Structure 1
């Protein structure tokens, strides 16, 4: 997925990305804590970030999770991460999409590009049939990103996740392999 034709590219994270991921987490801590489940303080350490990347490698080998970094093509700077997790095979052939973007790069269309790249991976390389995503209704920017990338809104999951001690509703989105193929043909 190291396609450098666009403004960003994605590639599987490896241990050499540990410092960059830690800095990404530290720079954006306040933003991420407002939209993500509560994290332990240790997540903001090099050891835990490295262990997380190593775990991601193991989960990729087990076909459970695919974790990528999002990099600027021009500078190779890590500006975010994107992953397919809770991969289910058998009759489901689906997963959940998760992502984060450095707040300094929000609103520039980079995440839409990264989602398009990971959808190519999901549908063309690992053969999934459905990718789901959930977003809190107040996170209008993230919902817009999913819509621009071709996801369709499917409903509302009431009190889906606990964020900062509060059970939060999430708007559910999905993209099917056929939706992706229709977009590619356009």
Structure 2
């Protein structure tokens, strides 16, 4: 899916593994305060291929959809966005997670990617609700969610183990209507 904001989303493919690895290496210190501690195998080509393979399998089983965020001009991967933990039935919900290369922060790419991902979630995948949790001190990510129309729903105490510490997360959500 393409955006007027110079980016597009597409599901990650095996050919993207080396670009994704490069992105993660260059941003490792930048991302770490907001991510789980990962085994060193994650930072290998094989680790990225496993992640992409899991994403492909997740889409085939309608459990998750993982997209690369690409620049239109160069097709360079500048981030990743995912809908995971998809619940069907009477819930029709997914969890949203994303990251953008530090070099491209502050240019509106994250907000554009979230907006594009929501169109896919609601119009193509048929979800009713998308939820995102964000560490309260991650103000740029909160701004992205608010600009994309998410509403603050509350605080989940000790929600996820991030960078070795159980962290509270502000819960944001948006529904199809």
Counterpart of 2:35 in 1: which secondary structure?
A: coil
Cα distance between partner residues in 2 of 1:166 and 1:19? 30
Structure 2 residue 94 is matched with structure 1 residue 115: no
Could you state the TM-score of these two structures normalised by the residue count of structure 2?
Answer: 0.98
Cα distance between partner residues in 1 of 2:163 and 2:60? 32
| CA-atom RMSD in angstroms | 0.9
Structure 2 residue 75 is matched with structure 1 residue 79: no
Structure 2 residue 168 is matched with structure 1 residue 147: no
Paired residue total: 177
Partner deviation per Cα, 1:63-83 (whole Å, 9 max, x = no partner): 001000001111111000000
Cα distance between partner residues in 2 of 1:8 and 1:164? 29
Greater mean alpha carbon deviation, residues 161-170 or residues 150-159: 161-170
Which residue number corresponds to residue 32 of structure 1? Answer: 31
| CA-CA distance at 1:41 after TM superposition | 0.9
Structure 2 residue 126 is matched with structure 1 residue 92: no
Could you state the TM-score of these two structures normalised by the residue count of structure 1?
Answer: 0.93
Q: Which ranges in structure 1 are unaligned for 5 or more consecutive residues? A: 179-186
2:5 and 2:108 in contact (8 A); partners too: no
Counterpart of 1:63 in 2: which secondary structure?
A: coil
Report 1:131-170 matches (<5 A). Answer: 131-170=130-169
Cα distance between partner residues in 2 of 1:41 and 1:98? 21
Counterpart of 2:34 in 1: which secondary structure?
A: coil
Which residue number corresponds to residue 183 of structure 1? Answer: none
| CA-CA distance at 1:164 after TM superposition | 2.2
Partner deviation per Cα, 1:130-177 (whole Å, 9 max, x = no partner): 000000011000000000011111100011011222111100000100
Counterpart of 2:82 in 1: which secondary structure?
A: strand
Cα distance between partner residues in 2 of 1:112 and 1:165? 28
Structure 1 stretches (4+) deviating beyond 6 angstroms?
none
Counterpart of 1:85 in 2: which secondary structure?
A: strand
| CA-CA distance at 1:18 after TM superposition | 0.5
